[in-house]
Amino acid sequence: MASSSSLSPPKVPKELYFINREKVLNSLRQHLTETSRPLHGFVLLQGGEEQTRYCTDHLELFRQESYFAYLFGVREPGFYGAIVSSFCFFVIAAKYVYIYCLVGENKAIILLSGDYNEKYMVNMVYYTDEIVGVLQGHYKEPGKPLLFLLHGLNTDSNNFSKPAQFEGMEKFETELNTLHPILSECRVFKSDHELALIQFANDISSEAHVEERFKAIELDNPMQTQSVYISRVLPSFLSACAVLHYGHAAAPNDRTFEDGDMALLDMGAEYQFYGSDITCSFPVNGKFTSDQSLIYNAVLKAHNAVINAMKPGVCWVDMHKLAEKIILESLKKGGVMVGNVDEMMAARLGAVFMPHGLGHFLGIDTHDPGGYPKILHCCCPLDIALLLYFDVVVITVEPGCYFIDALLVPAMENESTSKFFNHEVIGRFKDFGGVRIESDVLVTANGSKNMTSVPREISDIEAIMAGAPWPSNKTAPSNS
């Protein structure tokens, strides 16, 4: 199998970020109108800064702040960006300020120095120490100019976004509550340009996953596997290449693969800020045992059923419950569980085997914002709880089945749930680890489209690991 990709990256149209800015601008105008507030003020964001490694002069790899990347597409550090709620767009750099105005037929008004004008669809250039004067000069209302700043909670990290700051901010009124929910909601709905980038990230990630599968038998541990993947693509998140789950600073992927292990590779590439998130599980020796087949097929059946059921108007909570129920049914059929599956669901035993949400939004961030419930405790835990929209939403579908003592032992010892477990059979899976299967799925007007293309059926996986080519004649499950 070739070690280099045959895929050609798509061009990134400058209109992508123009469309994103216009979407936010329209949503802000609508919100201000509906809340009887005046249509004036500026949206102001501060881009990311270069960081050094602790006290050294070693520069860490820079990646733009995601909200700023979404609106402006600026790859360099040290920028500010502003949108005027009436007519104009600005992009403000560390050394210059770039301004774009929506006037007439959106044609350029003034063209000053620098190639950023063409690169980011901007027209006017200023120094950053002119920020105060530039913003004040474009504010036509009495009183201090109003700045809508980005400030809100990321519910995955529990960190807050950083509001823009610059010298002279005391000359402006600031508003911290409006922008974040509007901008987060806009990021949920993808344009055709965004979908093309996400699809390419999926294509290159799928190709790299197949290469990993091909090389897995030759590699000794997850760290080597992770290195092979990183050598092929720019990862969109800290990859999980492990016998069960994540490697991180406190628990690196340094365990040696052993014959009979199930490997779990949760990895995805990023292209022009937009990412992918794909998980594959497979036996490191290339052949599934009967127990591995049982658990793998249980998860695959849930994965395929959810994708086939996805369509506009479907509630994501119902999809989560569907995945849990199918996995429990498969475990019962395989003799791992006994009793009534509906009673198991009522006792929340699905969460014992799948202690995470079914999926999350995907876009510029691996866990893209939007759709997070403030109060929802019916499932454990959910990333999103909403009715699915169509043609524009990308969601990961990632059911899993794991054998985790910290969850299994209490459930097996509980007098109300112990009866559902076949204790003798469960013992066979003590060191099994787990299986997760994750694909990136676009909700369409008629159903869904699986954007991920990797071998999923056991026969295909074993064939690939034995050296067969991919793709085969089979296609990934979809309902489009």
**The pLDDT of residue 72:** 87
3-class SS of residue 84: strand
**The pLDDT of residue 472:** 72
The burial of 223, by beta-carbon neighbours within 10 Å (0-12 exposed, 13-18 middle, 19 or more buried), is given as: middle
Pull the structure tokens for residue 336.
């791992």
User: How many CB atoms within 10 Å of residue 443?
Assistant: 21
CA distance 419 to 337: 9
Nearest CA among 323, 328, 355 for reference residue 342: 328
**The pLDDT of residue 77:** 86
The residues of the chain scoring below 50 in pLDDT are 1-2, 87-88, 91, 97-114, 245-246, 373-380, 475-478, 480
Pull the structure tokens for residue 8.
């050609």
**The pLDDT of residue 189:** 93
Q: Which amino acid is at 90?
A: F
**The pLDDT of residue 78:** 83
CA distance 325 to 306: 11
Nearest CA among 382, 377, 434, 383 for reference residue 408: 434
**The pLDDT of residue 57:** 94
| CA within 13 Å, CB half, 475 | 7
CA distance 96 to 420: 66
User: How many CB atoms within 10 Å of residue 381?
Assistant: 12
CA distance 187 to 370: 8
| Helix or strand holding residue 450 (H, E) | strand 448-450
**The pLDDT of residue 239:** 53
Of all residues in the chain, what percent are helix, strand and coil, respectively (each to 5)? 35, 20, 50
**The pLDDT of residue 140:** 81
**The pLDDT of residue 109:** 28
Q: Tell me which DSSP letter residue 468 carries.
A: -
3-class SS of residue 86: coil
Pull the structure tokens for residue 238.
């800290």
**The pLDDT of residue 141:** 85
**The pLDDT of residue 240:** 57
Is residue 228 within 8 Å of 267, Cβ to Cβ? Answer: no
Burial 235-257 (b: 16+ CB within 10 A, else e): bbeebbbbbbbebeeeeebeeeb
Is residue 335 within 8 Å of 425, Cβ to Cβ? Answer: yes
User: Positive or negative, the Cα torsion across 182, 18, 109, 30?
Assistant: negative
Q: Give the relative orientation of helices 222-232 and 192-215 as an angle to the nearest 10 degrees.
A: 140
Nearest CA among 443, 452, 394 for reference residue 187: 394
Please name the residues in contact with 212: beta carbons below 8 A apart, sequence gap of 6 or more: 225, 228, 229, 265, 267, 280
* DSSP bridge pairs for 421: 337
